[in-house]
A and B are shown apart, each in its own frame.
Chain A
Amino acid sequence: MLTDNLPSLKAWTQGINVSFPVLSDYWPHGHTALKYDVLRSEGIAERAIFIIDKKGIIRYIDVHDINEDPGMNAIIRTLEEIEGKK
């Protein structure tokens, strides 16, 4: 999810292979990022990951430095935990 408009996202995703929906939080600008408290004052989102389970409950939050790769281990662990509890 990004605060860019849809045409920009289309141009971007054409160049890479994505197997998941890419959402545009462009209008009202950054509204959803704001709801998740990850909107920066420059109008862009933090590099943030939320894992939400089937009941709609947040299970994991990670807000990362914008220039850093968030890493996968904790995410995979959380996902396995949720899947395992089914």
Chain B
Amino acid sequence: MRFVLVPYMRRYSHDSENAALAAWAAWDQGKFWEMHDLLFEKAPELDRPILDDLARQLGLDMNKFRKAMEEKSNLPELKENLDRVHQLDIWSTPTAIINGRVVKGAQPIENYRKVIDEALGKSGLTPWVPAYLKALFHVLGPAPAHAQSREFGRGKVPLYIKVPDAKPTNEPKVGEEAPDFTLPSVGDASISLKEYRGKKNVLLSFLPAAFTPV
């Protein structure tokens, strides 16, 4: 069993980015979980002085820690992982992917246990690779006991796992049913594709950005 944690850095939040950097900087000094727990304790107040304070509490090498925070050397890795998470159609936190099953939101611990046990039962002795995603800003409770006691990896989000309800398994093709959507519209309330079913043909035009020529 493998356990992968990916900080979900919220866009436009410096504190969120800094918290993730602090966690990874602590990792580099062998104190990830300690920092992780302190971050959750302190959240949402996580500005730089507070992060420095936490690092000091943990007895981290402050020169190394400050350097990691200033140079943001771990940021490319964190951003790459975030991109991968978005590719999996995950836009909120916390979200867990357990052996390909997406569990959204902060669920009671039993729900995770159920999914994990099911995955273990199904796969028997076959090794399986779950990815467990957790945000730095939402308290989920302790990590599943299974996960704590086994290997824990700081790695890339494994994209080879199957995510049934994420990206379409096949890209839309002519002759297939168009995926439905409901979106806010200028002037009107929301519009769903299915409203047109049986009434009108629809020309759907995606454009890169407002103010581009139609």
Interface residues of A (CB under 8 A from B): 1-4, 6, 8-13, 16, 18, 21-26, 28-29, 31-38, 40-41, 44-61, 66, 69, 75, 79, 82-83
Is the C-beta of B145 less than 8 angstroms from some C-beta in chain A?
no
**Interface residue ranges of B186-201 to A (CB < 8 Å):** 186-188, 191, 193-194, 196-201
Interface residues of B (CB under 8 A from A): 83, 89, 91-92, 167-168, 171-181, 183-188, 191, 193-194, 196-211, 213-214
Cβ of A32 to closest chain B Cβ, rounded Å:
4
Q: Contacts A50-B172, A51-B203, A55-B197: A2 and B178 contacting too (C-beta < 8 A)?
A: no
Majority SS of interface residues in chain A?
Answer: mixed
- State in angstroms the CA–CA spacing of A53 and B183 once bound together: 19
Cβ of A8 to closest chain B Cβ, rounded Å:
5
Closest to B205 in A: A49
- State in angstroms the CA–CA spacing of A70 and B175 once bound together: 21
Cβ of B26 to closest chain A Cβ, rounded Å:
30
Cβ of A51 to closest chain B Cβ, rounded Å:
5
